Structure 1
Amino acid sequence: MSNILIVEDEDVIRTALKKLLERNDYQVSIAGSVDQALEQFRLDDFDLVISDLRLPGREGTDLIELAGQTPVLIMTSYASMRSAIEAMKQGAVDYIAKPFDHEEMLQSIAAILSQSAAAQQPAPAPNTPAADDSSPGDESDELSAGQMLGRSQPMLELFSRIRKVARTDATVLIQGESGTGKELAAHSIHQQSQRHDAPMISVNCAAIPETLIESELFGHEKGAFTGAVNTHRGLIEAANGGTLFLDEIGELPLEAQARLLRVLQEGEIRRVGSVQPMQVDIRLIAATHRDLKALTRTGKFREDLFYRLYIMEIAMPPLRDRGEDIIELANKFLLKACARMGCAAMQLSPQTRQAMLAYQWPGNVRELENAIERAVILNETDQITPELLGLDPQYSARQTEQSATEAYRSPSVSHEKPVGEPFMDSDSSTQSAALSLEDYFQRFVLDNQDQMTETELAKRLGISRKTLWERRQKLGIPRKPK
């Protein structure tokens, strides 16, 4: 059981976070300040320290150096990008914005602890394949080292699905467009499963030459073929007791598919050139951006293997369907890019946020990360402007201002303006084109909050009360006096 220290001066937040972590099987200690933490505890006795940035007396970032090898996760207010960057530069393992989402906090903690445990493991022997020996998977290294983020409905449904799947030992097929985070989802399933202490071996089937795929997966005996000068342990054997992640499984040759099917049916492998089978215990997670069912109809994928893989399916939502998650991810990438390159804090301009929400993101999260990194390299001010992102114009017309306006319209049609109707007269189409989504949001709330409760406002806008509160904070919209 991981041991976590929470350093937070606000009783409500400290108590709520403690209960959340204890419900998820963490051992938790608490302190109200840096000095109190140092008086009561030895920081190197903990696996993780979670600290607020602003504390009475000394700042939470003082704990980074004092904690030594123990990772420190900093909590900061949503708008404190500059402070978060400074914390990352000082050595914080990550930051999380308050008010935080429970799923986001748990995902972040799980990723940090997993990464910390992996860093403390001894290096593998020269002939022993390790998880990072395989070719790069579908997702970026930056994302794989962090955690999945998202508060949109598709992501909340994804997190729920992952939790349910992780409790079982069933084979999982993850489907989604390139760059949506399929490998990240596989890591999350492994980390939440009973096999989390065993290795997870990742293999990109498209990156291994067809002539070598069977040898890499199943291993080979000395002398099995020209060049086999030593016995080689395959990646499936290396994953014994743990999880095998096969990315781009649609690229697997038919011969290898037949051998993989035997692994799933019989739980055994046979090295190339060997006559003796070997029992293995693995949990298989496969991923693809291709339509495997269509491949079975053309004979490019075995139908029996398809149904073996299709026990549990997880569909990764494309970034264009995740709404405000785009901005949250962009801010996360922006923070890390600035810290990594030693840049001063930067922010996304309102026009940039609007352009991001209107863009289709054909490359999904990977494209977003690359666009942010490009912008940080080219930027010479503290504002990221749309032209710095280098977005393809043909994918920028997904959401017009008119469709954005319609998202907030009441479905009823009336010549009189009812409560909740957008903030324009029928002859103000010119004004409509000039207003941004944030302008519409602000006008809608100010025009209707005297007649509507917070719940009614949120429902009419199609968002949660929490999102309504966050946008009030972000745009500086006060609640009506009681």
Structure 2
Amino acid sequence: MPHILIVEDESIIRSALRRLLERNQYQVSEAGSVQEALERYSLTQFDLIISDLRLPGAPGTELIQHAKGQPVLIMTSYASLRSAVDSMKLGAVDYIAKPFDHGEMLQSIQRILKDNQANSSSKPTVPTATPSAPPAPSSQIPQQVSLGIIGRCLAMQNLFGKILKVAPTDSNVLILGESGTGKELVARALHNQSQRAKSPMISVNCAAIPETLIESELFGHEKGAFTGATSGRTGLVEAADGGTLFLDEIGELPLEAQARLLRVLQEGEIRRVGSVHSQKVNVRLIAATHRDLKTLSKAGHFREDLYYRLNVIALKLPPLREREQDVLEIAEAFLKHHSNRLNTGPLFFSPEAKQAILHYAWPGNVRELENAIERAAILSDRQEISAEVLGIDLEQNAFEAFNSLHREEHNKPSEAKTNDLPEAAENLSLEDYFQHFVLEHQEHMTETELARKLGISRKCLWERRQRLGIPRRKSAAGEA
């Protein structure tokens, strides 16, 4: 059982973190300051030390030199994020911002312990691939484990092959996908498989930082650069020097900051706000967005030159509704995680619950799925998770999708309509509406497009075809 030391002066946070770790089968010791930790324990006895950055007396970074190689994870508030990044340069293995998500904390701990064990045994735990090696056949690629992403469907297997090809390079990567699909997991996989893996990966959500502060946060500022700048600060781009900078929701970046970022990509240098001097930085940029940057650039809301700089390599993450059996495997992984966290004992899905999970469209993708599983694990009073406890309303989901389709068709120009849909979708039964829509559109839509428009999986589409006796057009029989 891994032994973890918590060093935190706030007793409420320390107690909550201790309970979280003990529920997940970790042995835990604690201290309220660096001095107390050094007096009470030999730091080398711990598999991991989790310390707040700001502590009474000495800062948490003081523990790094006393730990003699044992990993130290630094906790920090968002306001002192740059200081935490600086602590990584002193030897901290990672940092996590407070208030932290329980799942995020546990994932960080698992990754750190796994990496530390691998380093101790001097055996690589992640298969490597040379840039020239072609990806293995989809049935033989085991990367869903090594990359930290579950995905056995063809689209995800192809994505894993691209990650292993792209990761060893320093090319900019643009990750595209709907909200909640796991774009940061892909960025983390690219970083971990790159030659920069031992350097920091700095993640920035561009939508979460106020527009007035974004340039200072990213590029730093000099003392007196603006009101309240009482001292100079390192920006997050500079803090990522030698490593990877991940800009999530880059479509929300203001135009002024886009111009500065373009300079980083073109010249490899930054200039702090209020400074007249530039300095070189060596960062690999990975950006992500759920928006259409090309359309934004044409509308003048995103710099076209920056778009082409970012779009060297584009990786598309499929939405959950297009990932076939992956959704059930992901759901079962979440169920196991939350049953361990809540100490409920083994939980499993009923056959009806599995069907509901497979047939629901999951508009919120993996994020919505995890929330549904966590809610079910908490509310269920039995080991078997029923469809009712999951709270997935398949009929309402399908009805809303059909009504949305009706509105789309109704709003099209009249000359584009060959056969108008009925005036009111609510006047048809769901089965009638399904049959009408499939027969209307299957000549010019693939099965994947039909399923996506209907808000169901391809498997569900096939099953309903069988049940209703709707033949599949011959030209579609060979579709992938």
What's the TM-score bracket when you normalise by the shorter of the two chains?
0.5 to 0.7
Question: Once the 2 structures are TM-superposed, how far is the Cα of residue 191 of structure 1 from its aligned partner?
Answer: 0.2
Q: CA 1:367–1:400 in 2, change beyond 3 Å: closer, same or farther?
A: same
- Structure 1 residue 189 and structure 2 residue 190: aligned? yes
Amino acid at match of 1:362: P
CA–CA distance in structure 2, aligned partners of residues 135 and 186 of structure 1: 22
Partner of 2:83: 128
Question: Once the 2 structures are TM-superposed, how far is the Cα of residue 134 of structure 1 from its aligned partner?
Answer: 6.6
Question: Once the 2 structures are TM-superposed, how far is the Cα of residue 151 of structure 1 from its aligned partner?
Answer: 1.0
Q: Percent identity?
A: 53
Q: CA 1:171–1:135 in 2, change beyond 3 Å: closer, same or farther?
A: farther
Conserved 8 A contact 1:349-1:384: yes
Partner of 1:169: 170
Q: TM-score, normalised by structure 2?
A: 0.59
CA–CA distance in structure 1, aligned partners of residues 263 and 102 of structure 2: 28
Question: Once the 2 structures are TM-superposed, how far is the Cα of residue 402 of structure 1 from its aligned partner?
Answer: 7.2
Between the two proteins, the alignment pairs up a number of residues equal to 311
CA–CA distance in structure 1, aligned partners of residues 284 and 397 of structure 2: 39
- Structure 1 residue 141 and structure 2 residue 104: aligned? yes
CA–CA distance in structure 1, aligned partners of residues 241 and 458 of structure 2: 52
Partner of 1:150: 151
Partner of 1:403: 461
Give secondary structure in 2 for the equivalent of 1:202: strand
Q: TM-score, normalised by structure 1?
A: 0.58
Amino acid at match of 1:239: A
Partner of 1:351: 352
Conserved 8 A contact 2:75-2:97: no
For each residue in 1:7-44, what CA deviation from the matched residue of structure 2 results, as whole angstroms up to 9, or x when unmatched?
xxxxxxxxxxxxxxxxxxxxxxxxxxxxxxxxxxxxxx
Conserved 8 A contact 1:139-1:366: no
Question: Once the 2 structures are TM-superposed, how far is the Cα of residue 241 of structure 1 from its aligned partner?
Answer: 0.3
Question: Once the 2 structures are TM-superposed, how far is the Cα of residue 169 of structure 1 from its aligned partner?
Answer: 0.5
Q: CA 1:401–1:266 in 2, change beyond 3 Å: closer, same or farther?
A: closer
Give secondary structure in 2 for the equivalent of 1:285: strand
Question: Once the 2 structures are TM-superposed, how far is the Cα of residue 392 of structure 1 from its aligned partner?
Answer: 5.1
Give secondary structure in 2 for the equivalent of 1:214: helix
- Structure 1 residue 369 and structure 2 residue 370: aligned? yes
Trace 1:102-251 onto structure 2 (pairs within 5 A): 120-121=71-72, 123=74, 128-130=83-85, 132=95, 141=104, 145=108, 147-251=148-252
What is the aligned-residue RMSD (CA, Å)? Answer: 3.6
Q: CA 1:234–1:204 in 2, change beyond 3 Å: closer, same or farther?
A: same
Conserved 8 A contact 2:96-2:105: no
Conserved 8 A contact 1:137-1:247: no
Q: CA 1:119–1:404 in 2, change beyond 3 Å: closer, same or farther?
A: farther
- Gap regions ≥5 residues in structure 1: 1-63, 70-86, 93-111, 410-428, 433-459, 464-482
For each residue in 1:129-184, what CA deviation from the matched residue of structure 2 results, as whole angstroms up to 9, or x when unmatched?
43756799999737964721111111111111111110110000000000111000
Partner of 1:342: 343
CA–CA distance in structure 2, aligned partners of residues 137 and 249 of structure 1: 23
Conserved 8 A contact 2:324-2:457: no
For each residue in 1:65-107, what CA deviation from the matched residue of structure 2 results, as whole angstroms up to 9, or x when unmatched?
7xx67xxxxxxxxxxxxxxxxx995459xxxxxxxxxxxxxxx
- Gap regions ≥5 residues in structure 2: 5-21, 28-46, 51-63, 86-93, 112-147, 399-454, 470-476
Question: Once the 2 structures are TM-superposed, how far is the Cα of residue 262 of structure 1 from its aligned partner?
Answer: 0.3
CA–CA distance in structure 1, aligned partners of residues 25 and 358 of structure 2: 32
Partner of 2:126: none
Amino acid at match of 1:141: E
Amino acid at match of 2:369: L
Q: CA 1:236–1:370 in 2, change beyond 3 Å: closer, same or farther?
A: same
Conserved 8 A contact 2:176-2:288: yes
Give secondary structure in 1 for the equivalent of 2:83: coil
Question: Once the 2 structures are TM-superposed, how far is the Cα of residue 388 of structure 1 from its aligned partner?
Answer: 1.5
